[in-house]
Amino acid sequence: MRAWRTHRYGPPREVLQLDEVAVPEPDHGQILVRVQAIPLNLNDLERITGGPMLVEPELPFSPGMEVFGTVEAVGHGVEADEWIGRRVAAMPLQAHGGWAQHAVCNAVSAFEVPATIPLPGAAALYFPFHLAWLGLMDRALLQADETVLVHAAAGGSGSAAVQLAKHFGARVIATAGGPDKGALCKELGADVVLDSHEDGFAEGLLLERVLAETDGRGADVVFDNVGAALFDASIKATAYDGRYLMMGFASDKSVADQPWIVPRQVLMGNIRLCGVTLAYADDGLRSMVKAAMGWNLASGRQGAAIMHEIVELVEAGAVRPVVGDVVGFEDLPAAITAMADRKTTGRVVALIEGDQP
């Protein structure tokens, strides 16, 4: 099969090579997916440039933490009759290996997407809507008539969060960079759009604007996948008994394992600080990770339930995947470069040759 592989760390156009490699075989609890589409994620960049990684694979390897395709084979412990032929969105093993014509994934991290949802939208559902659901519905317990502040609202999980929040009756304040992205947020249902490119946005303008839009209360829920650049301003903009959702670190991943949160900010804010991670595992691995690291992973059962809810909403026309660009498999290095330069809106989806929308 063909696979884009990182042979050394550096700029995508320089270090990615399109190689011919053997098709991998699924092991216990795993499935083999014939990849039809590859959604790009910012975290794919660190596998290419050598940025902060939770698990650093041995070079050379394929980046790609998300794939969409058809199940071709299964490993031990997976029922072939239930899986082979399924159309699934899935996470490859250890969140890499997806930039290839086949990918091995844990069955617990793969979810069926019905044929009623065509490509490229079908490939754009998984990560954004699962993240948004885990944050808004599971952690924040979002209620109708609450105000939600969504950062980077024209991106993948941000655009999903805007739509889910509106569907469940919330008022949405969206932040986005520039008029084009702001227009998309309005189209998705945002009540107020703030331009994050304005001077002083992180230094006080964000707080000023949010307070003006909430009668001085602040936002009941802050959905923040930007991280360090807007953390202080976002904490200040969270209402009494509000929920700040730590969704990611797009502005600076290097702080992910650093002591950069000041306890008094949380204490004096009288807020709830919520961590949100998209990672599904079976009960055995969940227990092992809890004992070894103290971390909590969601169950595959929860993931399946969330996907069921999301599919129903998409089929009803209540929400939609936001696809900004559709590119070819050969264009992946250029596409991830554009994402790194913040030149993309919504999701970027690469289609394997022959798999057209």
> What is the helix (H) or strand (E) element at residue 287, kind and residue range?
helix 283-293
- Chain segment 271-313, per-residue pLDDT in tens: 999 999 999 999 999 999 999 999 999 999 999 999 999 999 9
DSSP strands (E only) in the chain: 2-6, 16-20, 30-39, 67-74, 87-92, 102-112, 147-150, 171-176, 192-195, 219-224, 238-246, 272-275, 280-281, 298-299, 323-328, 347-351
pTM of the model: 0.94
d(CA 223, CA 21): 40
Residue type at position 279? A
- Chain segment 302-318, per-residue pLDDT in tens: 999 999 999 999 999 99
How confident is residue 354, by pLDDT bands cut at 50, 70 and 90?
low
d(CA 125, CA 224): 19
Backbone φ and ψ of 94, nearest 5°: 55, 30
Distances (CA, A) of 265 to 139, 144, 218, 309: 20, 27, 15, 35
Question: Do 244 and 224 touch, CB atoms closer than 8 A?
Answer: yes
For the CA atoms of the chain, what is the radius of gyration? 20
In this predicted structure, the answer to whether residue 73 has a pLDDT above a threshold of 80 is yes
Q: Among 47, 16, 40, which Cα is nearest to 335's?
A: 40
Q: Once rounded to an integer, what is the mean pLDDT over residues 178-199?
A: 96
The pLDDT score that the predictor gives to residue 305 is 98
